[in-house]
Chain A
């Protein structure tokens, strides 16, 4: 706790490109949201940077705690659990002819 408090005071603020992060996160932010989030993310990063004081060199990463590996299953279809097309589309705001409608991602060559 104490170290964390210190890190807030002395912690170096990382340069964060908030627009780039918003683009990666697929979030559309207003100017005021950008400003607010930048300050908050910078502050939070300054806090969590206390972790860099820990010597973690040579330590293996823990991504999960079950210690299990390679869980396989049969590649088979359980017909009792298959959604009908109608069910699969039932929550979609836009659908057409039994398909989801998505925004255009490719443009014609001009």
Chain B
């Protein structure tokens, strides 16, 4: 209990940083602003490390706790914003603040030409605070508050370039789609209170045993709506590709490494509810598997560098959901961590390349970047291999663990979807890699229009992330190391109702995915090498708008546009034309007109004729008398 004080430090430092940077954005030097923002997240990361050590020293089953704000009590239930540092939340905090720190550092140089330097860092710090609140809260209400704050931070950062129409629209879209998810989450919170009489995880999870399955399923499905919206899973994924309008480090931090995994966190956090509601858990797995495959297919057809990575994120988060959905929470957490490493690396490298090419984002107009920037080439190769699942690198171990778990649970269809998504991952990543790095420079980018190459402040985070993308998976090599298992201990056994897996996974399972991914990568390399057909078609189409179902993401956007957005706009226009001027204005104007007319009518009586007043008093008295006499 006594070491719980590291939790508020972890939580509040980024908030303090955000406030200081926001207040001093026009007064402090640029180095000062970046320094304050980066240091606050760095110290927060140190606090997370301290919390990790403190947690290890506690007996198993106990966690760090801190009561931040007491709100009093409600119906006998103490009502407080408490912080909880257990295995899951500390794991998440380490990645959020660790990767967050590296991306702050990268931003310090990457955003150097930006006029609104202070505003950028204030918002970035605010995001880290919001995410920490989401992760550290010890009850569903605090989680919801953090969740909403994360949504606001995402809105602010996607729309950072607020003079760009596209960025403003993307920010709005992300906010609205996330609001749909928040409705689910709020309803879930209401149901939780109705069912358990409180919001703390402890209370809720203790009540799970006796709660009716129907209520638990409803709660689980409502939570899933929130998770699906925040984690850009089918069918609420449409905001994520558009969110790439934000600055690239933001895409790396929020829309790849941390925020979009909030949905996975929610499922993992609420696992006792899902364990007791198999239907809801299965829905998680199905949503994850479908999103994994959908994202991977659509990523093949994208020609914008960042949109490829965005759909890839959707696909990878789908893997995490799939893992969580079959009860392999450790695997989901593991993949969350490795994905944060290699996806942040890929995004940050994308930023360097886009800067180098003077803002060019169309991969069909790129090429030959490898010769100009060998270091970037090497690091990107590591990232591609890691995400594609090349044996030995980070993504391989975590993805294999998930696919193994899915197979061992007997979900063969979901497993097949996962394997297909994994091989497609290799396909689209190799395609991206070939189009960007292979061949000769293209489209007038020979000299590197962006001028200077990346400096040391950018290279340090890149190098660290490269190392982590290589070694992150070594935390759990089956049969060799098991750091994640040792760390989590029996955490997920407490409420797990699953029967223990019997026997060993067949050996061909791992080889099959490796072979499938390898073949996909080879096909892609043949197709998109400078002599290949795909290369030539891509180059020929360079600069033109994308056509076809893949590029349009299977028209999900158009579907929503036709089914939701247009009718809504039509309805508001109708209301604006008919209801507002006639009904609403009519009521208001009618009331004011009535008052005015009543005033002028009564005016005639008040002429100041004293004897007439006296007469009306007498007449009134007479009437009163008459009333008394007659009635």
User: Do these two chains really belong together in a complex?
Assistant: no
